[in-house]
Structure 1
Amino acid sequence: MNIVILSDTHIPGRAKKLPSVLAEACGQADLIIHAGDWQTLDVYFELSAYARTEGVAGNVDPWEVIDKFGRQKIVDADGLKIGVIHGDGLRKTTERRALEAFEGEQVDIIVFGHSHIPVSRQEGGITLFNPGSPTDKRRQPRYSFGILEKNGEAWTLDHVFFDSKD
């Protein structure tokens, strides 16, 4: 199973379309997970043309995105439990808010966005993963998204970094 993980696309605000490297990865995906700040449902329609697309709303998303996705969910990816949240809020770090949102839940991975800062680390047996942004790198050196590959019980989760959002 091949899963593309992304967040903070901010289309059409930060880009007019998905970067070609991301679109190519989506063409190989079995599932796409978006951790919010889509800005428009058009991004969902484009992604869902490639593969089943799950996600949550972020802090800049309009009501129709919030209504469609909600703000938090757990996605079952062939037995792998993936908590998804944007991570915005008051006080604490984005990572801490994401981790605390799934306290008491049985998740293997927590995917979050908001900061546009790529993160991949373990805490308490859970992988915290922020894919960064494929269209708005802010102060990061490169644009990014994630690829999760699952084969039976084994899985790997890595960032894909690239230099141009074209």
Structure 2
Amino acid sequence: MLLGVLSDTHVPSRSRCVPASVLRAFEKVDLILHAGDLTTDKVLDELMAVAPVVAVHGNMCDASVFYLLPEARLVTAGNFTIGLTHGHRGKGQTTPARARLRFVADHVDCVVFGHSHQPTNQEVGGILLFNPGSPTDRRWAAARTYGILRVEEGIEGEILEVKE
């Protein structure tokens, strides 16, 4: 199973739309995960035209998205459970730690999160922590990025740069 992963698209404040190269890359995925800060529901429409979408809201989403999407959810992919959240709730910890803490009571194999715009692909305590970064806003990152998760006998993440 192949999952396309996005976060922090911030449409339309950072970009008019999801970059075309990301949409093309997602044509081959089985499911798209969006870890929040879509900002508007226009992003959902763009992504759903390519593949099924599971998403959560972030701290910058307008009301149309905030009330439509949950703050966190569990996603089953093959034999694995993925926790999906934006990662903005809580204080005094790093974004990866807050995101992981959100699913402490759940048996998850992977936590997908966003908020920091910092790509992360790291296993901690047997759990893959995966932040795809942002495809539209580098913030403090070296590049605009998105992610792919390959779910087979395990979960393997890959961070990819937006090329346009």
Q: TM-score, normalised by structure 2?
A: 0.94
* Mapped contact 1:15–1:135 kept (Cα < 8 A): yes
Higher mean Cα deviation, 85-94 or 113-122? 85-94
1:163: how far off? 4.4
| Letter of the structure 2 residue corresponding to residue 68 of structure 1 | L
What CA deviation, in whole Å up to 9, does each residue of 1:13-54 have, x standing for no partner? 101111122011121111000000001001001101111100
Q: Answer whether contact 1:8 1:38 (CA < 8 A) is retained.
A: yes
Residue matched to 2:117: 116
Give the residue type in structure 2 aligned to 1:119.
Answer: T
* Structure 1 segments of 4+ aligned residues over 6 angstroms from their partners: none
**Equivalences for 1:69-88 in 2 at 5 Å?**
69-88=69-88
Letter in 1 for 2:122: R
> Which whole-Å CA distance do the structure 2 matches of 1:118 and 1:6 have between them?
10
Aligned equivalent of 1:25: 25
Identity %: 39
Three-state SS of the structure 2 residue aligned to 1:147 is strand
Q: How many residue pairs are counted as aligned between the two chains? A: 163
Q: Which residue of 1 aligns with 2:143?
A: 142
Kindly provide the amino acid, as one letter, of the partner of residue 51 in structure 2. Answer: A
Distance 1:13 1:47 in 2: 18
Q: Gaps (5+ residues) in structure 2?
A: none
Which 5+ residue runs of structure 1 have no aligned equivalent? none
Contact kept, 8 Å, 1:142 with 1:163, in 2: the verdict is no
Other structure's SS at 1:27 match: helix
| Structure 1 length-normalised TM | 0.93
